[in-house]
Structure 1
Amino acid sequence: MDRTSHTELVRRNVVEVFNATDAVRRRELIEAMYHPDAVFYDAENTATGREAVIDAITALLADSAGLSFSVTVEPAALGDVARISWALSPPDAPAVVTGQDFAVVKDGTIAELYTFVDQKQPG
């Protein structure tokens, strides 16, 4: 898999997976894009295995109803690692959270996803 494929994978993860409001569609996307043994790390959680990743993302999105993720800086890749910067915003309003994801890609899927939150607005 080349750098373009890695960057497209992390872009689709932000835009498609994290914006999927339908649980069935989100599951399909994660099953297609994440390695079976994937690990998702953020400041509050470590989810190991695809089912745990699905549960963690579903819980995160439950706290983000009415908000959507967008790409703020074009993704980049080096070796088997890709990074992307994102924002979480209400419609037509400034971001309430910004951050970066770093993904380790294995067999064309996300094997490890590290999420770093840069900014949380008060409120």
Structure 2
Amino acid sequence: MDTQLLTKIQQTHLAVWNEKDRTTRDALMQTIYADDIKMYDKGFILSGSAAVSDFIDTLFAGDADFTFTLTKPMESTQHGARLYWEIRTGPQPNVLTGMDFFVVEKEKVAHLFVFMDAQ
């Protein structure tokens, strides 16, 4: 995966997960996520960019101070990439950490695997 695409995915993915405005977030998502993206979490699978955006809405509804940041630069191999992150929530930050693994097809994220570290 070329550096330019990797940078675009990293920056836009962070922007998507921090964007509270649904219209802005959905427009950002279209630039890097396939319309039929699959997001895999330990307890569920989401299908389609609308479902992923709905999920992000629920995170903000639960905690308006939700902040998603990367903890080290994204790394890639062939058509895959990983991004290590942390989430801070609330006035007294509670930190969650994990990793997202992306499968990229036709220069868009087709599959997003979310791994949360044990708390």
**What interval of TM-score do these two structures reach, taking the shorter chain for normalisation?**
0.7 to 0.9
Instruction: Please list, as runs of the form range in 1=range in 2, the aligned pairs for 1:100-119 lying within 5 A after superposition.
Output: 100-119=99-118
In 1, distance between residues paired with 2:50 and 2:91?
33
Name the SS for the 1:28 alignment partner.
Answer: helix
**Superposition RMSD in Å:** 2.2
The CA distance in 2 between the partners of 1:50 and 1:56, in whole Å, is: 10
Contact 2:101 2:112 in 1 (8 A): yes
* Correspondences of 1:25-104 after superposition (within 5 Å): 25-90=24-89, 96-104=95-103
Question: Where does the alignment leave 5 or more consecutive residues of structure 2 unmatched?
Answer: none
TM-score normalized with structure 2 length: 0.85
Q: CA deviation at 1:32?
A: 1.9
- Distance in 2, matches of 1:75 and 1:95, equals 23
How far did 1:56 drift? 2.3
Q: Using a 3 Å threshold, how does the CA distance of structure 1 residues 61 and 106 change in structure 2: closer, same or farther?
A: farther
Q: Could you say which structure has the greater relative contact order, defined with CA pairs below 8 angstroms and 6 or more residues apart?
A: 1
Which digits, 9 at most, give the CA deviation of each residue in 1:81-103, with x for residues without a partner? 00000001148966520000000
TM-score by length of 1: 0.82
For the 8 Å contact 1:42–1:114, the answer to whether it is kept is yes
- The answer for unaligned runs of 5 or more in structure 1 is none
Percent identity over paired residues: 31
Check conservation: 1:39, 1:48, Cα contact below 8 A. yes
Q: Say how many residue pairs are matched.
A: 119
Once residues 84 and 11 of structure 1 are traced to their aligned partners in structure 2, the CA distance between those partners, rounded to angstroms, is 11
